[in-house]
């Protein structure tokens, strides 16, 4: 029953984004059009770096790095803080995407990006549910954490890389 929460979050964002009338004039911290896209690409790149740090910290906390012992109060606290910063950084990016463009399914790159954006917040909700509940098997946390990381990486690939690489994404 608890896993319906992440599904509801992802679907909620999808239906809200599909129902909104996109406004390409919306700004992101005062930036419009190409400037807003460049700013989102940079913020998205910072988000990807934070996600990589999260991945390394999680591996450190569970003793999966060579020479590391399971659990560390510093690693755990840093993991939580960087996770909070990553989430807070993602919100204005997502807000601008939804308000400026909505959920679009026009091209493969845009469709992948739009759907993955919905999955990202569903995965975030799933991670919070799994961390807070003790009803799930131990393998569930790395699965939802991995989905969260992969969502951020795919969003970066389909938008930030595309923007920073002259509107080209290798393989798409």
Question: pLDDT tens-digit profile of 139-166?
Answer: 999 999 999 999 999 999 999 999 999 8
Contact residues for 21 (Cβ-Cβ < 8 A; gap 6+): 102
Cα 152 off chain centre by: 4
Residue with tokens 């960087």: 82
Q: Give the other-Cβ count within 10 Å of 3's Cβ.
A: 16
Q: Is the dihedral of CA 98, 100, 102, 104 positive or negative?
A: negative
pLDDT at 27 exceeding the cut of 80: yes
Say what the pLDDT of residue 106 is. 92
Domain ranges of the chain: 30-164
- Please give the Cα distance from 83 to 145 (Å, whole number): 11
- Please give the Cα distance from 15 to 13 (Å, whole number): 6
pLDDT digits (tens, 9 = 90+) for 37-83: 999 999 999 999 999 999 999 988 888 888 777 777 888 899 999 99
Model pTM greater than 0.85? yes
pLDDT band for position 115 (cuts 50, 70, 90): very high
pLDDT at 8 exceeding the cut of 80: yes
Average pLDDT score over residue span 77-98: 95
Average pLDDT score over residue span 73-100: 93
Q: Mean of the per-residue pLDDT values for the chain?
A: 91
Rounded to the nearest 5°, which phi and psi values hold at 154? -70, -35
First vs last C-alpha separation in the chain: 37
The answer to whether residues 39 and 29 touch, using CB atoms and an 8 Å cutoff, is: yes
């Amino acid at each position: 029953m608890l896993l319906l929460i992440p599904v509801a979050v992802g679907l909620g964002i999808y239906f809200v984004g599909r129902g909104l009338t996109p406004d390409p004039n919306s700004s992101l911290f005062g930036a419009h059009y190409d400037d807003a896209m460049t700013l989102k690409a940079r913020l998205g790149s910072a988000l990807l770096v934070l996600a990589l740090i999260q991945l390394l910290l999680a591996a450190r906390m569970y003793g999966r790095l060579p020479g590391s012992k399971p659990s560390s109060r510093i690693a755990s606290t840093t993991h939580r803080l960087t996770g909070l910063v990553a989430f807070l950084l993602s919100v204005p990016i997502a807000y601008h995407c939804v308000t400026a463009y909505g959920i679009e399914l026009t091209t493969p790159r845009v469709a992948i990006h739009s759907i993955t954006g919905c999955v990202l917040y569903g995965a975030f909700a799933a991670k919070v549910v799994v961390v807070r509940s003790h009803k799930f098997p131990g393998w569930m946390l790395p699965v939802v954490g991995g989905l969260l990381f992969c969502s951020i990486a795919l969003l970066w690939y389909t938008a930030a890389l595309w923007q920073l690489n002259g509107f080209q994404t290798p393989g798409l």
